[in-house]
Amino acid sequence: MKNKTSFLPREGEAQPSRCPDNTAFKQQRLPAWKPQLTIASVLSTFFLTGAFCLTVGVCLVLSANSVREIQVDYSDKCSDCSKLRENSSNWNKECHCSVNFTLKEDILGDVFMYYGLQNFYQNHRRYVISRSDAQLLGRKVNIQRSYCAPFSTYRNGTPMAPCGAIANSIFNDTIDLFYSHNSSVIQVPLLKTGNSWWTDKNVKFRNPESYNLSSAFAGTARPPYWQKPVYLLDEEDERNNGYVNDDFIIWMRVSAFATFRNLYRRLRRVRHFAEGLPAGNYTFRISYNFPVTKFKGRKHVILSTVVWSGGSNPFLGIAYLVSGTAATLTGFVITGIHLKLRKKKTYFQKQ
């Protein structure tokens, strides 16, 4: 055992210095700029900030109000189908309903179709985490160790693909749009692909590697509320199947609020609809599959255009207006306080 004195520096040896290096950074000698807050600089900052926010807010609000939007609620108009879907044993029975509406003016430009849900809470903690990101990337994983339960496997041990409560509750109504033109009915051409983000298709969602999709999902089963397996979601386009299906990807992007809308289709601008949707009589033909009665929900379809600032959402513009108003009022308050104090100072100097 070494003597304790062996750890002490011997006589004549230099002790290690604890002082920082003699550099401008470690000795805090770097040049610094300390602004001098004068009344002119403070007031100009508040008033310029207020003017900027008010200008941007007015532009955003006007832009949002210029969006053309038609919203049709079909919850009550499809009440017969809604009653049929309340009984889960009728899952294999088809039910269709139609909703008529009229466009009094043309909707020019690109037109987007959304489906909207009301009183559907996707922000519940257990609902949000009920998914397997590794499975959605096409990897072979043990989903029993994921957060997908109770929608992970069936009683016989067959895994669900995809698993989780989010995937199981996918919106599966089919909505077609028809246009009445010169005593004839024309189906409006709608695009079902190209609606998701590039990062979703190429980064977050991938199909398992195999020579075809049916073999890639062999040994798995569809979620209990689904009518088709995941590799048959789009029977018209093989590239829009499996985990890279656009409708599935958009649904997996959960909403923070109970009332939300998701992009469903885009207008294909050809023939009669090259300029957009012409004025006239239209009909939504809906294959009703998604029940909402039990949680007192509502369903609606939205036809909308977009502008440079996005869709019909004035929230950002209102936020800018509130911020600009607050900054401007603060500037006036500071001005009033400054004038009052200067007047009092002048009075005492005269005394």
Which pLDDT score, from 0 to 100, does residue 62 have?
Answer: 93
Q: What is the dihedral of CA 21, 23, 25, 27, to 10 degrees?
A: 70
Cα angle 152, 153, 159 (rounded to 5 degrees) comes to 95
Identify the helix (H) or strand (E) that includes residue 79.
helix 79-86
Pick 10 or 147 by higher pLDDT: 147
pLDDT at 96 over 80: yes
Distance CA 234, CA 242 (A): 9
Q: How confident is the model at residue 241 (pLDDT cuts 50, 70, 90)?
A: very high
- What does the DSSP assignment read for 131-167? S-HHHHTT----GGGSS-TTSSB-TTSPBBSS-SHHH
Q: What is the pLDDT of residues 22-40, one digit of tens each?
A: 888 888 888 888 888 888 8
pLDDT at 50 over 90: yes
Which pLDDT score, from 0 to 100, does residue 308 have?
Answer: 86
13-27, 126-140, 300-314: which has the minimum mean pLDDT?
A: 13-27
Q: What is the pLDDT of residues 247-294, one digit of tens each?
A: 999 999 999 999 999 999 999 999 899 999 999 999 999 999 998 988
pLDDT at 91 over 80: no
pLDDT at 7 over 60: no
Which pLDDT score, from 0 to 100, does residue 12 have?
Answer: 58
pLDDT at 89 over 80: no
Distance CA 244, CA 248 (A): 7
Tell me the mean pLDDT in the region 37-47: 91
| pLDDT > 70: percent of the chain | 93
Tell me the mean pLDDT in the region 342-350: 67
Pick 86 or 53 by higher pLDDT: 53
Q: How confident is the model at residue 142 (pLDDT cuts 50, 70, 90)?
A: confident
Which pLDDT score, from 0 to 100, does residue 90 have?
Answer: 77
3-state percent helix, strand, coil for the chain, nearest multiple of 5: 35, 20, 45
Which pLDDT score, from 0 to 100, does residue 13 have?
Answer: 61
pLDDT at 8 over 60: no
Helix (H, G, I), strand (E, B) or coil at 112: strand
CB atoms within 10 A of CB 264: 22
* Distant-in-sequence, close-in-space partners of 133: CB < 8 Å, separation ≥ 6: 204
Tell me the mean pLDDT in the region 49-53: 97
Q: Indicate the residue type of 147.
A: Y
Distance CA 179, CA 281 (A): 6
Nearest CA among 60, 63, 66, 72 for reference residue 264:
72
Tell me the mean pLDDT in the region 316-331: 96
Which pLDDT score, from 0 to 100, does residue 144 have?
Answer: 81
Token look-up 């508040």 returns 46
pLDDT at 6 over 60: no
Q: How confident is the model at residue 171 (pLDDT cuts 50, 70, 90)?
A: very high
Which pLDDT score, from 0 to 100, does residue 268 have?
Answer: 95
Q: What is the pLDDT of residues 100-127, one digit of tens each?
A: 999 999 999 999 999 999 999 999 999 9
pLDDT at 310 over 60: yes
